[in-house]
Structure 1
Amino acid sequence: MTTLFIKNMVCNRCIMVVQNELDKLGLDVKNIKLGEVTLDKEPTTDEKNKLDKALILLGFELIDDKKSRVIEKIKNVIIDLVHHQDNNTKTNLSDVLSSQLHHDYNYLSNLFSEVEGSTIEKYFIAQKIEKVKELLVYDELSLSEIAFRLNYSSVAYLSNQFKKVTGLTPSYFKRIREDKRKPLDKV
């Protein structure tokens, strides 16, 4: 078995698209999740090149170096935590990343900052704000329910962070309903 690492896989639709490309090439997939594909056997150089070209056309990319794989794993854990889990538990991000990636948080934090030019915390906040935008547009939850769901200590703290990132208050954003959302891989 071999594992391939793929950049920009951020949702279940991405998993389906990548699965489809792997099927077209006749590669036997054992497991697929955000940013990672486990194959039955090592693909040939030709298969890998064809896969890489197909993925690039779809906005994805095979990752070969170790640092980039770790960065992509950090992003995928954060995306999963913010966008794909009803996160009602108050967990410490550094603990979650350390336990899931089996590295010391200081190492992960320094690597992320070095490669991305920004901090893990800023990336996490950006993802949370994108989720807030999504929930505001859906108009199913109040701001206090959104704050609770995303583990903000208060509505005021969420509002301040939202304004700092977007330049708008959540209520103004909700009122104008402009689609200010970015694709998750562009955050």
Structure 2
Amino acid sequence: MVCPRCIMTVESVLNSLNIPFTRVSLGEVEVPAKPTEAERERIERGLQKVGFELIETRVNKIIEDIKQALIEYLYLGMDAQNTKLSTFITKKNPYDYSYLSDLFSSIEGRTIEQFFILQRIEKVKELLVYDQLSLTEISYQTGFSSVHHLSSQFKKVTGLTPSHFRKIGAAKRKSLDNI
């Protein structure tokens, strides 16, 4: 789950299945009692219908926690620049960064930094499609040090300049949770 709409969707699924819960937050659901195997299967099927998956293993939970930390960091924009990405991740996940980095790479097939760059570029695409901010404002909001840095990263990932992408629009976007 990567947004408030995701939380509402999961709450709706749980309510429709009559599964009691105490809290739903990004990436987590708190239930008052351990679900039975039948309830777990119903939850899993219900979540799959709306494009989510049930994550139960410790490793998968750590990977999801890293992704959530990356999304939080991204939404901080330039405000996050006083904190290194690795420091931010280890504050959110109580493990050594090298362990988290190796684990993430082995499961995802790309580094944390590569994944983060893809997240940033998708956020840039979203802001370009909305066409309400200048490239300078977009670069600030997404944590790039300059428009030039944003443009070079954007072109490296997409093969297009931000200006050209703005012209062709939403057809080239992916949702952040599908990266």
TM-score range, shorter chain: over 0.9
More moved, 68-77 vs 126-135: 68-77
Q: Which has a greater percent of strand?
A: 1
RMSD: 1.5
What TM-score, normalized to structure 1? 0.89
CA distance in 2, matches of 1:177, 1:69: 34
Q: Is the 8 A contact 2:122 2:175 kept in 1?
A: no
Calculate percent identity across the aligned residue pairs: 48
Q: Is the 8 A contact 1:81 1:87 kept in 2?
A: no
Equivalent residues, number: 178
The equivalent of 1:5 in structure 2 is: none
**Equivalent residue in structure 2 for 1:30, among 22, 36, 41:** 22
Helix, strand or coil at the partner of 2:88: helix
Query: 2:178 aligned with 1:156, yes or no?
Result: no
The equivalent of 1:6 in structure 2 is: none
CA distance in 1, matches of 2:19, 2:169: 43
CA distance in 2, matches of 1:81, 1:170: 22
Q: Which has a greater percent of helix?
A: 2
What TM-score, normalized to structure 2? 0.93
Residues 124-166 of structure 1 deviation map (CA, whole Å, 9 limit, x = unaligned) = 0001001111111111111111111222111111100000000
Q: How far does residue 178 in structure 1 lie from its aligned partner after superposition?
A: 4.5
CA distance in 1, matches of 2:24, 2:55: 15
Q: How far does residue 86 in structure 1 lie from its aligned partner after superposition?
A: 5.7
In the alignment, structure 2 segments of 5+ residues that lack a partner are none
Q: Is the 8 A contact 1:109 1:120 kept in 2?
A: yes
Tell me the amino acid that sits aligned with residue 167 of structure 1: G
CA distance in 2, matches of 1:31, 1:87: 31
In the alignment, structure 1 segments of 5+ residues that lack a partner are 1-8
The equivalent of 2:80 in structure 1 is: 89
